[in-house]
Chain A
Amino acid sequence: MLIEIKDLNFKYKNSKVDTLKDFSFTVDKGEIVCLLGESGSGKSTVLRLISGLEEPNAGLIKINGETIVDDNTFVPPEKREIGMVFQDYALFPHMSIAQNILFGVKNKSKEYKEAKLEELLKLVGLEELRNRYPYQISGGQQQRVALARSLAIEPSLILMDEPFSNLDASLQSRIREELKSIIKKTGITSIFVSHDKDDAISIADKIVVLKDGEIVQQGASNDIITNPSSKYVAGLFT
């Protein structure tokens, strides 16, 4: 078991209701998990808690057996080595593609950096674009740069927030396939958030369905589709 999350509770400062209530789930190494839910279900908050961008009110998160969050511990995001692909990609506008990708690689030799850059550019198929700037490339390419950038720090886990929501509908299925093949190639454990059942079905090994901050059902993708536990879940997949 790579990630263990137990009884997370979270409430945003200005909000009256709990965003997450006693949220627990686990992820095995190499698994691709989809957190599926409507907007406001708390799915993005789970990613922000795992990456350390928010601190939970209560609960525990362990990665590789090491506690990163509990009542007494809080490892800040820059120490967690968890890759995060933001919904808007958050590429640094003042840096080239190469500079963006290598941003998180610190205290390494020049040769190492060069090799890493080559490897990642090849992985995401953007060798030609290394000297371009983010505003000069397409949305799909930006997404791959963001993915390469988070892979550059050799994280144990990749988090992706609505990876397909900013793309043209016509491109989505192709990009879904590309993303899936990149992730499979690297074999990295990943959690992504989506509101679209097609994303979940085509990419995820495991689906966690969220509603109002609570888990409605979780399990292998096929199980959930064939045996929905409630009308709500069944409704999602029709």
Chain B
Amino acid sequence: MFVLIPNANILLNIFEPANENWNHIKEYLLQDYIINSTILVIFTGIFSILIGLIPAWLITQYEFPFRNFFKWALILPLAIPPYIGAYTYNGLLNYTGVIQTSLRNYLGINVNPTYFDIMNIKGAIFIYTIFLFPYVFIITRSFLAKQSASLVEASRTLGRSSFETFRYVVLPISRTAIVAGTSLVVLEVLNDYGVVKYFGITTFSTAIFKTWFGMGDLNSAVRLSALLMVFVSGFLLIEKFSRGAKRFSYSTTKIRPLSRIKLSGVKAFLVSTFCSLIFAIGFLIPTLQLLHWSWLSYAKILNIDFFIFSFNSIFVALFASILIIIISIIVANTVRISDSIFSKIYSKVAILGYSIPGAVIAVGILLFFLGLDRLIYSGRLVLTSTILMLIFAYIIRFLAIGYNSVESGFDKVGKSFFEASRTLGVGITKTFFKVDLPMIKPAVISGFLLVLIEVLKELPLTLILRPFNFDTLATKAFEYASDEMIHEAAISSIIIILICGLAIYGIHKLSARKGSKNVN
């Protein structure tokens, strides 16, 4: 039940009387937080649907040059954490950046620099959209690949054009998938701290940081966290509602891939260009820019300290990911075997963590550990601000990701192999290692990789909870960038992107193999 800890702590602390600071926040600042967060969520949501769903549909329905490449290349923007994307794009676009200097030096055009200013809400929406849309892309594409074949074909034999088919059949049936993907995007936006901090936009996340670190006011930070949770819960309710209003699952006896329409000539060119453009903006351009900056700064950066914190960062990420996967397997297996109400509820609670923004979890966990220290070590800070606390926080926040992956693995395998093994006289534990584990291996590995990506990219939790003098690749990159040392930030960023990119490719390969040659 430890996932509930942050929320429970926040609930307990909210009943303490408000201080003066809080009244000030409530009167002058709160409105801004709410408005900014709302604008960011709504517009990022809408744009993510647009550039996530359209390529998902094009790839499902049409055959065009580089289609197979885009199938996984359009997931790659997820390898770039939004805050890294934010400072990269700012570096590209500002007055001394490559775009404006080229315009000035080669073309003699002096543009109004405000055209290229992305350090504002619009810029933040752009950054979030281009680096988070893959959530919508992945979920809708896999839904369409599995579910749409005969419905789309039926629509075509009934004389409807591709556009009409998209509008009247594809869009309505994929609503659940679209909502699921978009809610991941929204949760990421509410969780984010790096982008808004860097761009100077005040949201709930930045406010929690500021009241706590800047003003040392834990009381108000707790209140803000509680409000943010109200915000998140409200959003989750809307999600449930828009999903459940009309519930239909179209189940067919056999899953058949949609026979794709081959595009040629201008149409093929346009579709490929469209996908290339998304790929370029979401991955290629920022990565190339970072590589260039790394080239400029590696001599200064690559010293023994750098290797130490890179190693720390990767070690902690690996350790946390392995722990999360082991816990996920234990919980999922218990739920599957025991089938009791209690374990069902438990599994639901355990995955709540992902919807709680990092800053809130951080506040909750800090309160919890401070309490523990007070209890056990009578106030000496022994556990607080240790690696242990940080890893504990990662587990709470990312358990859902590992758990979902493992659970879907168990779901696919079903229970009959387990039962067959038991009737053949093999015990639960032995059955697990001999039968279950080998069969869910792909799901376990991709769950592990997903968690690893998230932990490596994680910023707000780590910033608050890390031990003194402990840096991860993510915090280092963020600090350099905040200090206007963009070139120095590049190498850490590139390492994160490289590892995450490889992990994404690995997940793609695994799921391609798992899904057999039929469903692609």
A108 to chain B, nearest CB (A): 12
B157 interface hit (Cβ, 8 Å): yes
Q: Contacts A84-B154, A92-B169, A103-B160; is A53 near B259 (CB within 8 Å)?
A: yes
Q: B153, A86: Cβ atoms under 8 Å? A: yes
Contact B156 A78 (CB under 8 A): yes
In B145-177, the 8 Å CB interface with A consists of 150-151, 153-161, 168-169, 172-173
Whether the Cβ atoms of B150 and A77 lie closer than 8 Å is no
A132 to chain B, nearest CB (A): 13
Could you tell me if A149 and B252 are in contact, using CB atoms closer than 8 angstroms? no
Q: Is A133 an interface residue (CB 8 A)?
A: yes
From B168, which residue of chain A is reached at the shortest CB distance? Answer: A103
Cross-chain contact of B155 among A52, A103, A135, A152 (Cβ < 8 A): A103
- Given known contacts A82-B157, A86-B153, A166 and B253 CB-to-CB distance under 8 angstroms: yes
Contacts of A92 in B (CB 8 A): 151, 154-155, 169, 173
Asked if A14 and B154 make an inter-chain contact with CB atoms under 8 angstroms apart, the answer reads: no
A103–B153 Cα distance when bound, in Å, is: 13
> Which B residues are in CB contact (< 8 Å) with A82?
157
With both chains docked as a complex, state the minimum distance between the C-beta of B252 and any C-beta of chain A, in angstroms.
4
Chain A 76-102 interface residues, beta-carbon cutoff 8 Å to B: 76-84, 86-88, 90, 92-94
Complex contact B173–A106 (CB within 8 A): no
Taken residue by residue from 50 to 88, chain A's Cβ proximity to chain B (1 for < 8 Å, 0 otherwise) reads as: 011110000000000000000000001111111110111
Taking a contact as CB atoms under 8 Å apart, the answer to whether A53 and B157 are in contact is yes
Minimum CB distance partner of A166 in chain B:
B253
The answer to whether A106 and B246 have CB atoms under 8 Å apart is no
Residues of B near A77 (CB, < 8 A) are 153, 156-157
Instruction: Check B160 against A53 for contact (C-beta < 8 Å).
Output: no
Question: Are B151 and A106 within 8 A (Cβ)?
Answer: no
The reply to whether B173 and A90 form a contact with Cβ atoms under 8 Å apart is no
How many angstroms from the CA of A83 to the CA of B173 in the assembled complex? Answer: 22
Contacts of B69 in A (CB 8 A): none
Given contacts A80-B157, A86-B154, contact A135 B248 (CB under 8 A): yes
A104 on the B face (CB < 8 A): yes
Q: Which residues of chain A come closer than 8 Å to B173, judged between CB atoms?
A: 92-94
Complex partner residue of B252 from A53, A78, A88, A150, CB under 8 angstroms: A88
Closest B residue, CB atoms, query A14: B517
Q: Flag whether B250 is at the interface (Cβ < 8 A).
A: yes
A53 touches B158 (CB 8 A): no
Closest Cβ neighbor of B518 among chain A residues: A14
Instruction: Please tell me if the beta carbons of A94 and B158 are within 8 angstroms of each other in the complex.
Output: no
Which A-chain residue is minimally distant from B172 (CB atoms)? A94
Q: Is the CB of A51 within 8 A of B157?
A: yes
Nearest-CB distance from B448 to chain A (Å)? Answer: 30
A52 to B159, CA, bound (A): 11
CB neighbours (8 Å) of B154 from chain A are: 84, 86, 90, 92, 149
Report A80 CB to chain B, min CB distance, Å: 7
Among A14, A83, A93, which residue has its beta carbon within 8 angstroms of that of B157?
A: A83
Q: Complex: how many Å from CA A106 to CA B161?
A: 11
Residues on the A chain within 8 Å of B249, using CB: 93
Does A29 lie at the interface of the complex (its beta carbon under 8 Å from any beta carbon of B)?
Answer: no
User: In the complex, which of the residues A84, A94, A150 contacts B248, with contact meaning CB atoms closer than 8 Å?
Assistant: A94
Q: Does A153 make an interface contact (CB < 8 A)?
A: yes
Q: A93-B173, A93-B250, A94-B173 are in contact. Are A84 and B157 (CB under 8 A)?
A: yes
Report how far A53 CA is from B173 CA in the complex, Å. 21
- Asked whether A104 and B158 contact (CB < 8 A) given A48-B259, A92-B173, A94-B173, the answer is yes
Distance between Cα atoms of A135 and B251 in the complex (Å) = 10
Kindly identify, within residues 125 to 169 of chain A, every residue whose CB is under 8 Å from any CB belonging to chain B: 133-135, 149-150, 152-153, 166
4 A-B pairs with least C-beta separation? A104-B158, A90-B150, A93-B248, A90-B154
A-B contact pairs, 24 of them (CB 8 A): A51-B157, A52-B156, A77-B153, A83-B157, A84-B154, A86-B153, A87-B253, A88-B150, A88-B253, A88-B254, A90-B151, A92-B154, A92-B155, A92-B169, A92-B173, A93-B249, A94-B173, A104-B160, A106-B159, A135-B248, A149-B158, A150-B158, A152-B158, A153-B158
- Extra contacts, 6 of them, besides A81-B159, A106-B159 (Cβ < 8 A), are A14-B517, A53-B153, A76-B261, A87-B253, A90-B154, A92-B169
- Could you tell me which A residues sit within 8 Å of B by CB distance? 14, 48, 51-54, 76-84, 86-88, 90, 92-94, 103-104, 106, 133-135, 149-150, 152-153, 166
